[in-house]
Amino acid sequence: MTDRAILDHISSLPHARANFKQLVRELAAKGAKREELEAALARLAARGDLLEPRAGQFAVTARSREYAVGCLNMHRDGYGFVISERPIEGITGDIFIPPDSAAKAMHGDRVVARIARIESGGRADGEIVKVLKRAHPTVVGQFKIGRRGQYVVPFDDRIRQWIDIPEGMEFPPAGPVVDRIGVEAPHVDSVEHLDGMIVNVELLDYEASTGRVVEILGQPDDFGVDVEVVIRKHHLPHQFPPEVVEQAEQMPAAIGPHDLDGRRDFRALDIVTIDGETARDFDDAVWVDRLPNGNYALQVHIADVSHYVKPGSPIDAEARLRGTSVYFPDRAVPMLPFQLSTNLCSLVPHEDRLVLSALLEIDHQGAIVAQEIIPGVIRSVERMTYTNVHLLLDGDAALRERYRPLVERFELMQELALVLNRKRVRRGSIDFDLPEPLIEFDEWGAMTGVTRAPRNIAHSLIEEFMLSANEAVASHLESSAPISIYRIHEKPDPKRVMDFEEVAAHFGYSLGVGAIHVKKFAFTDKHHDGSKKRRELALPAGEVNINSRHYQRLVAKIEGKPEERILSYLMLRSLKQARYSVENVGHFALAADTYTHFTSPIRRYPDLVVHRLLRGAQIEDLPAIAEECSQSERRAAEAERELVEWKKVRFMSERVGQNFDALVISTAKYGLFVELADLFIEGLVPIDTLPGDQYTYQENVRKIVGKRTRREFSIGDRVRVLLDRVDANERKLQFSILEDEPKRSGSHSRRPVPHGSRKRKR
């Protein structure tokens, strides 16, 4: 009997519960079948699909209001929240776990929580009863020697347990960083030398919080240690196993005649790649022509990674584990070994390369009227950069002469890109298109400043072509494959839409979704510190009728306005995160009925999977792959963001006492958060430091108001701030207000934007 059948059977029973003897009898599980049943029950319990409240008794979690399965999100103060994997009737948020119970697990662990109480407003309290999966096989932190012995203080302050290191354990040699960056390894010949160093610890006993040091990374301020810490904190696979290296080294150095069987030859065409100046791997190349009927022929050629990386091979297993490449300021953690990512699979100029090609015929309205997806071979004629293509199209005489045979083709590319963009705008695709900050570093990896990352027609050109190819491939797979993997972006949560509308109203704007009907619940809110407060919770009474055009129209209204930065930021926060799924629900932001990722198989595992599906492969565990890749993407984004924040704090540590122009981006009961206008760096102005009065936070209007003067601080205000202190351990900045009165949002025109990722993630 399958796992699904066992779950269905128990679900059909009263209270969705059964004991083992009952299941043996009802499922006729005798002999070998009894052993199979035992194994299946253990497997389902390990996954969290079944709970075992008492020995031999099983309950289906998906049918229970008593238990929840989910990830534990810890707070640095010791309490936590379980984010349930399924909706639970009557609960509107995450399940609060008090410190004593939260101490049974670590931040990120997958746990089972028993729901102890659900209050009238939907708030729930619970306790952890079982840890299903540990999130941290290792913990990175600072080694210390003290009265309690030798121990490691985790770098992640959400991991509350200090890790004891038993005396007498051998320590590994120092410096996994050393060979890569050429810095002399720290000399460690005794445990005393380790005091204060950053180490990585393998957990031996979770209950007792004991472990052993497996890596010595160096002193906290050593060059490159920050990257190594972030890699280990987020458990990013960063060293290829020997079998992966061996397989990569055995790859052929060049394409053989047999590799060309069944492929269309595009080597005679003047195909080009267009990437950033610092790009090292090139996984897409393009070509555009005008057809006799006046339509456009767009060819998007993508590196055929699936030709080299076979399912189940060591390289494939490692690529699936990594899920995505991770990009740090001074280096990358690639998904594929160097031999593939920057050589065999990279579409370098003047070399034959295998590709999977999307050949599209597009009319003058931007509609795809014909398409073909086939394996091919190309020889890129030029490695172009965004800057050079932009200057060429802008009329740069020297570049137009240098690339004279390609000028007409680039102009046709620009023409087609504008047609495709107009089509997306017509259907309601949202494009905030805000400039992204480019953080600059010196040769030692220290941050030296921030500039606005250039964005020009060349970026838009490639983006439009890649979007079109992704949509075409998604549509093809939806109609031809029994199951596929999609890039989905669900409609925003009505509560978040309502929250945004409240803030936008203060600026005189609205998404125009009409009245949002709400239900109000009055209840007593008990905080983790024991305090109580009576308040109302407002929840949407039904689904909010919103579509991407509401966002698109507001983006157009605020373009160029002083409040564009803050409203765009809040609009982005009101939207859900895009993710991978085998269930196609469309892509809200792109206003696309079907969408996938096809164009970056060198750096994204879902794209490699899509290539295999296009070649007719049957992939049984596609739902699991979709979920794993979504998690890997979030993990990579968090790691990239955290390292940049670390660099920013170090940069600001030398600027204590300096003052800056800033924008109020958020308000809370403990103060207001500001973002520095020219540096895209955030910090807190504590409420008790605000000048000239005693201030309180008025939650209903999201303002901080002086009790006597009625002076207000609200989202969107321009202020002048002084950097008072830098907390390097918690990576926090604290500011104070310098101006006598906050400048209203209409008085300045500079619009800072948040730090962006290496490539846009649709």
- The model's pLDDT over 270-282, given as tens digits with 9 standing for 90+, comes to 999 999 988 888 9
As given in the structure block, the two tokens for residue 388 are: 């050079």
The residue that leads in pLDDT, 174 or 75, is 75
Mean pLDDT (whole number) for 328-346: 92
Q: Enumerate the β-bridge partners of residue 199.
A: 141, 216
Whether the per-residue pLDDT at 51 is higher than 90: the answer is no
Paired tokens of 504: 């936008």
pLDDT at 182: 42
Question: The pTM is what?
Answer: 0.85
Name the nearest CA neighbour of 132 among 40, 88, 84, 70. Answer: 70
- What is the model's pLDDT at position 746? 40
Q: Helices 314-322 and 605-614 sit at what angle, rounded to 10 degrees?
A: 130
What kind and span of H or E run contains 309? none
Token representation of residue 248: 């990569």
Residue 15's CB: how many other CB atoms inside 10 A?
11
Q: With 90 as the cut, is the pLDDT of residue 519 above it?
A: no
Please name the residue that has the structure tokens 């606005």: 452
Question: pLDDT confidence of 543, banded at 50, 70, 90?
Answer: low
List strands edge to edge, sheet with 50-51. Answer: 17-19, 57-60, 50-51
Q: Is the pLDDT of residue 673 over 90?
A: yes
For 540-545, what is the mean pLDDT? 56
Q: Are strands 712-714 and 352-362 parallel, antiparallel or unpaired?
A: unpaired
Please indicate whether residue 253 or residue 591 has the higher confidence score (pLDDT).
591
Position 13 scores a pLDDT of: 81
Res 752: pLDDT? 33
Q: What is the mean pLDDT of residues 397-411?
A: 97
Beta bridge partners of 698: 703
In this prediction, residues 348-358 reach a mean pLDDT of: 97
Distance CA 200, CA 232 (A): 8
**For residue 11, what is the enclosing H or E element?**
helix 3-11
Q: Is the pLDDT of residue 525 over 70?
A: no
pLDDT at 38: 82
Q: Does the structure show a pLDDT above 90 at 39?
A: no
Statement: residue 175 has pLDDT above 70: no
Measured CA to CA in angstroms, residue 703 lies from 235, 560, 670, 682, 710 at distances of 40, 25, 12, 19, 11
Q: Write the CB contacts of 492 (distance below 8 Å, at least 6 apart in sequence).
A: 546, 574, 575, 576, 588
- Which residues have CB under 8 Å from 678's CB, separation 6+? 450, 660, 661, 750, 752
Backbone angles phi, psi at 305, to 5 degrees: -65, -30
pLDDT at 386: 96
Q: What pLDDT is recorded for position 174? A: 60
- Residue 176's pLDDT band, with cuts at 50, 70 and 90, is very low
In the structure, what pLDDT confidence band is assigned to residue 745 with cuts at 50, 70 and 90?
very low
Strand partners, 398: none
Mean pLDDT calculated for residue range 432-436: 71
Cβ atoms of 109 and 139 within 8 Å: the answer is no
Beta carbons within 8 Å of 398's beta carbon, 6+ residues apart: none
Q: Which of 681, 688, 666, 751 is nearest to 723 (CA)?
A: 681
> Is 530's pLDDT higher than 60?
no
Of 155, 177, 68, the residue nearest 107 (C-alpha) = 155
Q: What is the pLDDT of residue 739?
A: 66
Instruction: Name the phi and psi angles at 440, rounded to 5.
Output: -105, 140
The full DSSP string for 230-298 is HHHHTT---S--HHHHHHHHTS-SS--GGGGTT-EE-TTS--EEEE-TT-----EEEEEEE-TTS-EEE
Residue-level pLDDT at 30: 75
Say how far apart CA 583 and CA 571 lie, in whole Å.
Answer: 25
pLDDT of residue 447: 80
Model confidence band, residue 360 (pLDDT cutoffs 50, 70, 90): very high
Are β-strands 284-290 and 124-133 bridged in parallel, bridged antiparallel, or unpaired?
unpaired
> CA–CA separation, 525 vs 669, rounded Å?
15
Confidence tier at 139 by pLDDT (50, 70, 90): very high
Domains and CATH numbers, the chain: 3-61 (1.10.10), 65-133 (2.40.50.140), 138-235 (2.40.50), 245-486+595-636 (no CATH), 492-575 (no CATH), 653-747 (2.40.50.140)
Q: In percent, how much of the chain has pLDDT > 70?
A: 90
Q: Which residue has the tokens 């890569």?
A: 180
Within 8 A by CB and 6+ apart from 167, the residues are 149, 150, 191
Judged against a pLDDT cut of 70, whether residue 211 lies above it is answered with yes
- With residue 182 as reference, give the H or E element that holds it: none
* Per-residue pLDDT, 740: 56
Over 60: is that where the pLDDT of 744 sits?
no
DSSP class of 448: E
**How sure is the predictor about 204, in pLDDT bands with cuts at 50, 70 and 90?**
very high
Three-state SS for 350-369 is CCEEEEEEEEEEECCCCCEE
Quick check: 187 pLDDT over 70?
Answer: no
Q: Given a cut of 70, is residue 762 above it in pLDDT?
A: no
Structure tokens at 98: 């008090």
The residue type of 485 is I
Segment 702-719 shows an average pLDDT of: 92
Two tokens, residue 717: 């205000």
Confirm if 334 and 280 have CB atoms less than 8 A apart: no
Amino acid at site 742: P
Q: Model confidence over 311-334: pLDDT tens digits?
A: 999 999 999 999 999 998 878 999
Cβ density class 426-447: b for 16+ within 10 Å, e for less? eebbbbbebebbebeeeeebeb
Give residue 510's pLDDT: 92
Residue type, 201: V
How many Å apart are CA 175 and CA 186, to the nearest integer?
7
- Please tell me the predicted confidence (pLDDT) of residue 89: 77
Question: Tokens 């600059």, residue?
Answer: 440
User: Measuring CA to CA, which residue among 378, 457, 473, 385 is closest to residue 421?
Assistant: 457
- Angstrom distance (rounded) from CA 401 to CA 388: 12
Q: Please name the helix (run of DSSP H) or strand (run of DSSP E) that holds residue 50, with its range, or none.
A: strand 50-51
pLDDT given at position 202: 93
The pLDDT value recorded for residue 298 is: 98
Asked if pLDDT for residue 615 goes beyond 60, the answer is yes
Helix (H, G, I), strand (E, B), or coil: what is residue 444? Answer: coil
pLDDT, greater one: 752 or 285: 285
Distance CA 403, CA 411 (A): 12
